[in-house]
A and B are shown apart, each in its own frame.
Chain A
């Protein structure tokens, strides 16, 4: 116990020091991210050995993970902010669906240029998140309920725009969707690049800005954060605004990926996003986690889908089953880690 070395310690405390070291090692906040990363690598290596002859080893198969899951990554990054602050956002999927409908309708039916529609869609998403954050903070209502209301609201708004799906034939959208950024060994879509940029920005914000640290502080202990004089309300509202913005951006990426708007797009995707965040090692109670973990969470989920495609004989429902098993396992790991930390 080096903490108060000034005072001589009469009581036998030698064992405490070694125990503290062990606790610190097991309680290291980076451990869950490492576990997820290791899991991803193990799965990838297993996939390599099993489907080598079917082209699993191609670099493009790996890059496709980013192309096929870019929108999920962006949505999950937004969810990471919210969960890190100790909250939850259930409106993600609806917001994505709404954004696809909204942009498709503006581009196809109203003939607005994409350049105008994109910022508009992002602004609507951010504003939706802001409103939910405002209600959560000012009326002290559980985020679960408020964002559940958001879930229904935005899904309903999809149907107000149109009951049928709107396919997008606009040339600029088509070009954008087809554009590939070459990396030598393979290429990435615009959506994947955007997702990686968002990841980098989010990591910077969470680690290097006061806002980011406030998110951690509030997730760690909201009451303490308030008493330490941190602007609780502003931070909470900002967190939901970030999540709304990310959802709208994910919606745009999803629209690029699918090239249509549909009132039933991305139903339940908020749950995928939450699953990715948790598998990535962020504590559901908030205050602990890394956005890099979320990346691995998304990659693990994406890899499960790839593996099932390569297997060929398995139904796509196995994705859900595998996700469920993984989620359960990771929650249990988190549980044992937090209980150790307390001990």
Chain B
């Protein structure tokens, strides 16, 4: 089959940040009418490549050719005008405006400078209709869930119907992790839209951490590792194992190790005991015991009350009923400080908004919780502090291993490790991990899981929340099953417990 001419060609792309070479000579090409996956671990340079392409970062070397012409973008606006549109993980639209306006703003149909509202709504409705979506374009964007907002962002980037207005004429559509906060139905809807656009000749660059999604929707993929190109493959030519090996650059032995991790049954005495703990609108009252050195996994669908349960145990939300005892002593749990004093640590699922301070250094971020626990009047001696930080950077393999690097510059997986280090340094008795592996690559994922195992072996109790059932199953001694904001079952992990057994329990919702 003769290959058509690529719509986009990037050759020898180099991008340097102070002290880091983020991209060294990467080649990338994109054909019209294909969905192309950009794969790689966190820190492999995916985001950097996209930002260079979309004009957010300037280029330090290499060339970009769009439709046979050499281009160089100084801003996202220039890239957009050239026909490269981007939809980010966070929806970048204005929630206060209507759907129609969000689609058209900046290129509204006007006559003599006056916006033609009727025509704009009509065209927006036609466009939404043509793309097979059912959205009321007159309603404010904020009245729709995130998934729909994301679809609107795509509609916007695809442009107008007939082109008699100022159409964008999108040639390249970049989707940067659009699926990470969508549920299954919403993902399917997104894929349907992607396929339709592909069939219309749009070249789509798709980034996702979900391998299954890549295999479901993509035609071709480019794999990056440590800022270099590893290869370009047709999706049907490369299986998942092969892809993972390409991404992490080594065979899967270390992943296998975890599967063979023996579940210990000799967990210690009860550490945390919750009785009738509950909160209206959060989670129905539940009883829960966590033993010393036990990993308690929480399984349940998104919105089943996993996070709400964890927040109650950390005092981030105030319970309406029930009580908590930790190590035999009752804790009031009226604020996170009470929980921290009792030895509870909580790694939030929103590491960006609720956890890390991006403008501080790795060292400062790591030391934050320990310093807070000691009180601000008793600074940690510099030598002890540096030693501690160095230990944890090494133990968790935080890259770059530079305590003075700004956390905002780190990749997602490394940010997660910094957050973990912060809490580990306080040596908690109970560590609550809410989706610690979300949005991070498979290598870092494995490391974090291994860490959980070794922490538990050292006697730390862990409450582990993850969307992937395999992950919960692999790590937990006990599994708490949640459904509709209620703790419905407590399963002791063993050979007879499988993901389908957990799914059954979720589906039936029976107490056991």
Residues of A participating in the B interface, judged by any CB pair closer than 8 Å: 1-10, 20, 23-24, 27, 29, 207-210, 213-214, 216-217, 219-221, 223-231, 287-288, 341
Contact = CB atoms under 8 A, between A and B. Distances in A.
Interface in B161-214: 185-186, 188-189, 192
B132 A225 contact: no
B332 interface: no
B115 A229 contact: no
Q: Which 7 A-B pairs have the closest CB atoms?
A: A220-B94, A220-B96, A287-B96, A5-B134, A224-B92, A229-B77, A3-B148
A228 B81 CA distance: 11
A6 B92 contact: no
B41 interface: no
A210 B115 contact: yes
Contact of A217 (B77, B94, B151, B156): B94
Contacts of A1: 145
Given A1-B145, A4-B133, A225-B94, A230 B106 contact: yes
B428 interface: no
A229 B106 contact: yes
Given A6-B189, A229-B80, A341-B142, A221 B94 contact: yes
A256 to B, nearest CB: 31
Contact of B105 (A209, A214, A288): A214
B185 A4 contact: yes
A207 B110 CA distance: 12
Contacts of B76: 226-227, 229
26 contacts: A2-B134, A3-B135, A3-B144, A3-B145, A3-B148, A6-B134, A6-B189, A10-B185, A27-B140, A27-B143, A207-B115, A208-B114, A209-B110, A217-B105, A221-B94, A224-B91, A224-B94, A225-B94, A226-B76, A227-B76, A227-B86, A228-B106, A228-B156, A229-B77, A230-B106, A288-B96
A228 B188 contact: no
B92 A228 contact: yes
Nearest to B56: A227
B88 interface: yes
B142 A27 contact: yes
Number of chain B interface residues as a range: 35 or more
Contacts of A10: 185
Given A6-B192, A230-B106, 6 more contacts: A4-B133, A4-B134, A210-B110, A228-B94, A228-B106, A229-B80
A23 B148 CA distance: 17
Given A29-B140, A229-B106, A221 B95 contact: yes
B115 A213 contact: yes
Interface string B73-101: 00011001100001010011111110001
Given A4-B189, A227-B76, A210 B108 contact: yes
A120 B123 CA distance: 44
Contacts of A287: 94, 96
B161 to A, nearest CB: 19
B134 A3 contact: yes
**Residue from B88, B97, B113, B188 with most neighbouring chain A CB atoms (10 Å):** B97
Contacts of A229: 76-77, 80-81, 106
A262 B234 CA distance: 78
A237 to B, nearest CB: 17
B94 A24 contact: no
Contacts of B113: 209-210
B97 A216 contact: yes
Given A3-B134, A210-B106, A20 B96 contact: no
A7 B106 contact: no
A230 B114 contact: no
B331 to A, nearest CB: 29
Given A4-B147, A5-B134, A27-B143, A219 B96 contact: yes
B139 interface: yes
B289 interface: no
Contacts of A217: 94, 97, 101, 105
A229 B110 CA distance: 18
A221 B132 CA distance: 28
B188 to A, nearest CB: 6
B98 to A, nearest CB: 10
Contacts of A228: 92-94, 105-106, 156
A134 to B, nearest CB: 19
Contacts of A207: 115
B471 interface: no
B185 A213 contact: no
B126 interface: no
Contacts of B93: 221, 224, 228
B317 interface: no
A341 B88 CA distance: 23
Nearest to B156: A228
Contacts of B80: 229
A300 B86 CA distance: 46
B192 A213 contact: no
B2 to A, nearest CB: 36
Contacts of A2: 134, 136
A213 B101 contact: yes
Contacts of B188: 7
Interface string B254-293: 0000000000000000000000000000000000000000
A2 B192 CA distance: 17
B88 A227 contact: yes
Nearest to B87: A227
Contacts of B156: 228
Contacts of A223: 92
A23 B139 CA distance: 12
Contacts of B92: 221, 223-224, 227-228
A220 B92 CA distance: 11
A213 B101 CA distance: 9
Nearest to A209: B113
A7 B77 contact: no
Interface string B48-84: 0000000000000000000000000000110011000
Nearest to A283: B96
Contacts of A208: 114-115, 117
Contacts of A231: 77
Contacts of B140: 24, 27, 29
B145 to A, nearest CB: 7
Nearest to B139: A24
Interface string B16-54: 000000000000000000000000000000000000000
Nearest to B183: A11
Given A4-B134, A5-B134, A209-B114, A216 B143 contact: no
A168 B113 CA distance: 41
Contacts of A3: 133-135, 144-145, 148
**Residue from B93, B139, B147 with most neighbouring chain A CB atoms (10 Å):** B93
Given A3-B135, A6-B189, A6-B192, A220 B95 contact: yes
B97 A7 contact: no
Contacts of B88: 227
Contacts of B143: 20, 23-24, 27
A222 to B, nearest CB: 9
A228 B188 CA distance: 25
